[in-house]
């Protein structure tokens, strides 16, 4: 399985690397905003990451 053809997986991987890095602080509010934007994009466009 490669992530080369699966942009969602590579986006999740990038997010995990950001969370692992100690220089970033992500609050509960940040996660709520991100989840809200994701849901809005899915509802409006049927996809979350834009045209790839």
- For the chain, what are the domain ranges? 7-45
Give the CA dihedral 20, 11, 8, 38, nearest 10 degrees. 90
Give me the pLDDT at residue 8, please.
60
pLDDT, mean over the chain: 75
Give the N- to C-terminal CA distance of the chain in Å, as an integer.
20
Cβ-proximal residues to 49 (8 Å cutoff; 6+ apart), any chain: 7, 8, 11, 41
Alpha-helical runs (H) found in 1-52? 7-20, 28-45
- pTM of the predicted model over 0.95: no
* pLDDT tens, position by position, 19-43: 888 687 888 898 899 889 888 888 8
């Amino acid at each position: 399985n490669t992530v080369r053809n699966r942009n969602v997986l590579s986006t999740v991987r990038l997010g995990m690397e950001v969370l692992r890095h100690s220089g970033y602080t992500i609050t509960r509010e940040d996660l709520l905003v991100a989840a809200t934007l994701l849901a809005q994009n899915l509802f409006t466009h049927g996809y979350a990451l834009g045209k790839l």
